[in-house]
Amino acid sequence: MWLAIETSSLVSSVAVMNDERLLGEITIQAGLTHSEQLVPHIDTLLRMTQVQKSELQGVVVSSGPGSFTGLRIGMGTAKAMAYALHIPLYGVMTMDVLACNIPYTSYIICTVIDAQKQHVYAALYTYEGERLRQLEAPFVVSADLLIERLQAKGDAVIFVGDGIKRIAPLVENVEHLHIADPMYRIPRASSLLVASRERIALGETENPMDMVPYYIRRSEAEVLWEAKHKDDVVIHEEPTVTIIEAAGREYDEH
């Protein structure tokens, strides 16, 4: 049995599956905080699927990018469960989770996560047969530059993720750029389980003691704090995470 925890956005989603089928999923957009609803949802899901915690073989969690607070809560819960139950912990990038919402399409899948200030975190995917392949790793880009770039390429593209609110007005009259239906736009724990299969098969586990969210860039609060205390802290010249600018980048065509 595998438990998946997805809290990278305002959506709270948990799912449990065995080696053959999805046993249950709870996905909620109710406006409550993850700290209020995540643990109760896990307890409810395990009770309704009649799965004991002792039966869990591993915990899978969305590792980001996404909501700074949501990622911390989801990852903290997953780490605590993995440590307490002595089971493996697996982290999967939110972009991979979103891309798995769209099965076997001939379109390019563009995952977009709201990065605030008219920017999005974006990544590009395509299917090679039944296998989903990442065309381009996540990058931060303004919404208008992303649409300009994809419009120029001319390939059929479908968008998923909460960054759609940034790009929707820009694609209204562009025939080959499509927005997924609402039920496919949000990250779901069931898609997280699909995206985790290769990691589980390869045994690519995380250490609960040192696993951290993948933010791509720092939160606004951290930037403001550093600016306010710039005379009190040592600023490292090399960033801990590289931000890939989209300008001038092209994805390979196969």
Q: What span, in angstroms and rounded, lies between the C-alpha atoms of 80 and 82? A: 6
Buried/exposed 182-205: b ≥16 CB within 10 Å, e otherwise: eebbbbbbbbbbbbbeebbeeeeb
- pLDDT tens for the chain, 254 residues long, are 999 999 999 999 999 999 889 999 999 987 768 988 999 999 999 999 999 999 999 999 999 999 899 999 999 999 999 999 999 999 999 999 999 999 999 999 999 999 988 999 999 999 999 999 999 999 999 999 999 999 999 999 999 999 999 999 999 889 999 999 999 999 999 999 999 999 999 999 999 999 999 988 654 444 444 555 456 554 443 333 322 332 333 334 33
Question: What Cα–Cα distance (Å) separates residue 236 from each residue in 203, 226, 243?
Answer: 34, 12, 15
What is the CATH code for 2-94+187-202? Answer: 3.30.420.40
> What was the pLDDT predicted at 173?
85
Question: What Cα–Cα distance (Å) separates residue 94 from each residue in 54, 101, 152, 186?
Answer: 27, 11, 26, 10
Domain 102-185 in the same topology as domain 2-94+187-202: yes
Q: Which runs of consecutive H residues, i.e. helices, occur in 23-142?
A: 34-48, 68-85, 94-99
> What was the pLDDT predicted at 230?
57
The residue extents of the domains of the chain are 2-94+187-202, 102-185
Tell me if 179 sits within 8 A of 171, measured CB to CB: yes
Long-range contacts of 46-52 (CB under 8 A, 24+ apart): 46/3, 46/16, 48/24, 49/16, 49/23, 49/24, 51/1, 51/16, 51/23
Burial class of residue 238 in the structure, from the number of CB atoms within 10 Å of its CB (0-12 exposed, 13-18 middle, 19+ buried):
exposed
CA angle 151, 153, 155 (to 5 degrees): 85
Per CATH, which fold does 102-185 belong to? Nucleotidyltransferase; domain 5 (3.30.420)
CA angle 180, 181, 183 (to 5 degrees): 115
Query: What six digits make up the tokens of 101?
Result: 């919402």
Which residues are paired to 206 by β-bridges? 89
For 64-98, the pLDDT digits (tens) are: 999 899 999 999 999 999 999 999 999 999 999 99
The interaxial angle of helices 34-48 and 68-85, nearest 10 deg, is: 40
- The residues near 244 (Cβ < 8 Å, ≥ 6 apart) are 137, 138, 139, 140
